[in-house]
Amino acid sequence: MAAKNKTKYIFVTGGVVSSLGKGIAAASIGLLLKSRGYSVQFQKLDPYLNVDPGTMNPFQHGEVYITADGTETDLDLGHYERFTGIETNRNSNYTAGKIYMKVISEERKGASLGDTIQVVPHITNEIKRSILSVGSDDVDFAIIEIGGTVGDIESLPFLEAIRQFSLEQGPSRSIFIHLTLVPFIAAAGELKTKPTQHSVAKLREIGIQPHILVCRTEQELDADLRGKLSLFCSIPKDAVIQCADAKSIYAVPSALAGEGVDRLVLRHFNLDITKRRMTRWEEMLRHIDEADVEVSIAVVGKYIELQDAYKSIYESLSHAAIHHGIKLKIIRVSSEDHQVVKGLGRRVAGVLVPGGFGSRGVEGKILAAKLAREKDIPYFGICMGMQVAAIEYARNVCGLKGANSLELDEETPHPVINLMESQKNVTQKGGTMRLGNYPCHLKDGSRVKALYNRRDILERHRHRFEFNNEYREAFEEKGMDLTGTCPDNDLVEVVELKDHSWYIGCQFHPEFKSSPIAPHPLFSGFLEAAKAYTLKRKNV
């Protein structure tokens, strides 16, 4: 299974514990290589048996990241895109479920020619084919992150596959980078290398010898510790890399650059070590320390207890905060706690209601939209956040008693949010939504058009229910401006209130197109309005 392209493959594995930041490390390495003029693409291989994360509970898995081509993927793809500006795609995320489904489906069609289907070679061959799918003559490096940790039973087929891949492609086509934890034991007052030694030993049992060891640590790795890890893990001393805790994830690329990770990768492949160009990134990092105004933003959602459930939302807010010199304070509010929602007017300078599914916590989101509208607090509604703004406006301004979404109340007398005709008879839950990039036409003279500074935009979607066009006239008569529509089907994409400090709801997910060096226009406008609201309140 030889690669018919020039792509080099970088495999990123993790050991000891999960949540060490393999995705951040992979994204950082991608940024460093791109800054030296090389082209990069990414892939995340996840060991779980779901076909994709689209039907998984955000409390368990975090947010579902949507690619431009409409694929529901792991949240680490968000890190890849935010750090590098490279768009991922349907080949950028494979799960064990997706791999097994393909193999079993082919067997049911008779494609196996009577073979006994086994993990080796059939599953591992399919994994290798998925890896090759991100390579091409236009991609210098494919960075492949293996989910989970070494030693997990679920990860074994993937680790076996990349071992085979390296053997088949030869040492000039692949490199292994292992991310591990070097914990600081306070009682002993020292860092401990044994967990890392065991992790690397487990990897070597499988047949993989790491070329670079990236050590997550709270303390400095001195020369003796690096030497010890080098000796016992059979890794050159200069390839034992320190990755200390950083105050911002966006400082990690600079930290790894200081350790020479990209040089090691290029040297391994005998490629030119060109000059690194990261001027915009470094300028962004300097702005982080220049924040002079604290601005409090309430994020009112139903999955608020888990940081990763709204990962891209929080990151997009931070991007805009960096751009506007804001010291951002995010107040996470459960939409089920109505008393807290009611008291937000005294505490925050902006209210953001993110997307979600199902009826739990929706009335609290509607209450948040009402509070922001009546008290002239900047409001930003995303996906369901736009829908609850419409429901609130229908009930309390348009006089449509009992207005609701058909998703939440099938008996509502005023379904201001309903299904598209093409979706009304669909019963399958997975893969039936409007997903990925769709065009949107912005109305002349609108706030949203001024923010984008263009008339036509492309934004990513993930939803099944839409604004009901039968109520457009009723909303516009009462002052809600429908300022964005999809030219393909005339569906409402953006609503806003003119006589308000800043009140915008969008059906799409702008958080998937924001980066620290290019904040999304809507998040930028929202934070700018919240900053103005904060300064105005201080001066009253």
Helices and strands, counts by H and E, the chain? 18, 23
Please report, for residues 9, 149, 429, 462, the alpha-carbon distance to residue 56 in angstroms, rounded to integers and kept in the order given.
29, 20, 11, 14
Tell me the two tokens of residue 342: 């009611």
- To which residue do tokens 């991608």 refer? 30
CA distance 322 to 283: 11
Asked if residue 414 lies in contact with residue 403, where contact means CB atoms within 8 angstroms, the answer is: yes
List the catalytic residue out of 383, 440, 486, 506: 383
CA distance 97 to 103: 10
Please, which residues have CB within 8 angstroms of residue 112's CB and are 6 or more apart in sequence? 106, 122
List the catalytic residue out of 500, 509, 520, 528: 509
Q: Long-range CB contacts (< 8 A, 24+ apart) of 396-404?
A: 396/370, 397/478, 397/479, 397/480, 398/471, 398/474, 398/475, 398/478, 400/471, 400/474
- Told to judge if 383 belongs to the known catalytic residues of this protein, a careful annotator would answer yes
Secondary structure string (H, E, C) spanning 97-142: HHHHHHHHHHHHCCCCCCCCCCHHHHHHHHHHHHHHCCCCCCCCEE
- Told to judge if 440 belongs to the known catalytic residues of this protein, a careful annotator would answer no
Handedness of CA 355, 361, 362, 366 (dihedral sign): negative
- Residue among 9, 72, 2 nearest 43 (CA): 9
Measured between its terminal Cα atoms, the distance across the chain in Å is 70
Asked if residue 509 lies in contact with residue 461, where contact means CB atoms within 8 angstroms, the answer is: yes
CA 253 to chain centre: 18
Tell me the two tokens of residue 432: 């039936």
Give the dihedral of Cα atoms 199, 204, 206, 209; nearest 10 deg.
110
List the catalytic residue out of 63, 315, 496, 511: 511
- Residue among 21, 7, 30 nearest 86 (CA): 30
- Told to judge if 215 belongs to the known catalytic residues of this protein, a careful annotator would answer no
CA distance 280 to 273: 20
Tell me the two tokens of residue 132: 């090759």
CA distance 420 to 251: 44
As annotated, the active-site residues are 383, 509, 511
